[in-house]
Amino acid sequence: MRAYVFPGQGAQFPGMGRDLYERSALAKELFETANVILGFRITDLMFNGSDEDLRQTRVTQPAIFLHSVILASVLGNDFRPDMVAGHSLGEFSALVAGKALSFEDGLVLVSKRALAMQKACEMNPSTMAAVIGMDDRIVEETCKEINETVVPANYNSPGQIVISGSNEGIDMAIEVLKSKGAKRAIKLQVGGAFHSPLMEPARTELEEAITGTKFNVPVCPVYQNVDASPSVDPEKIKASLVAQLTSPVRWTQSVINMISDGADHFTEVGPGCVLQGLIKKINKDVITESAAF
């Protein structure tokens, strides 16, 4: 069975999407529609912008979303998923590709999500750190020991977890985790503590937008970040999307569950190949590839 997976923030690169725009009339039309919806020419920033331009949250999230969903669209009949999943922001891409959300509604929600998260970051200066080579349970216990907001944020693959929290809390956690034997514990260049309680203001803001948006039954099960389980129920999908902002991304468990349910071929749709690397660390026997147009 074939699973299609969609990357999240961090997969962006200068020039992303230009080849789609230049080679496909459908892609060009969708990109131009996006420029109108967003109120600025995101294509200029995607195709000609710098790394710094693309690191702005208001740009990063819509840019990755657009690259992913437009690539899925131009694949046409070659895009035949048995199941889909996305990492954090990528969950919105997966829902649009899986027909649970329209392109326009998905882009509006992603834009609102990005702006709400940026606002939450400014309210509570915070950050994230990657922890390599340590059992998840020890990382979880260490987060609880810190007398600051620090929580597991991304379960990316066995031995690779990202923690999220206040600046002071992350600094403290890094030192403790290193003393406990973590191979590496390094702060990430991100705007704030994504997937932590510090995103609560953004969750509240996004909930209103999601509640007012029409969701359909997707064409295949969507494995959601919050509980790593498949869903085709629009109401459950909505609730999980809202909870996602303050809950950890359970990517490892999502991939394990997809494989358990029959997935043996994973196609990454969007910029980069980060998810393929994570999937291979979870199960080296499955086939992984990038979507090709």
Which residues carry out catalysis?
88, 195
Q: Quick check: 198 and 192 in contact, CB under 8 A?
A: yes
Determine phi and psi for 187, rounding to 5 degrees.
-70, 140
**Neighbour tally for 278: CB within 10 Å:** 23
Task: Find where tokens 């997976």 sit.
Answer: 5
Sequence-ordered list of residues with C-beta below 8 angstroms from that of 179, at least 6 positions apart, any chain: none
Using only C-alpha atoms, what is the Rg of the chain?
18
- From first CA to last CA, the distance across the chain in angstroms is 21
Q: Is 199 helix (H, G, I), strand (E, B) or coil?
A: helix
The Cα 221–Cα 11 span in angstroms is 24
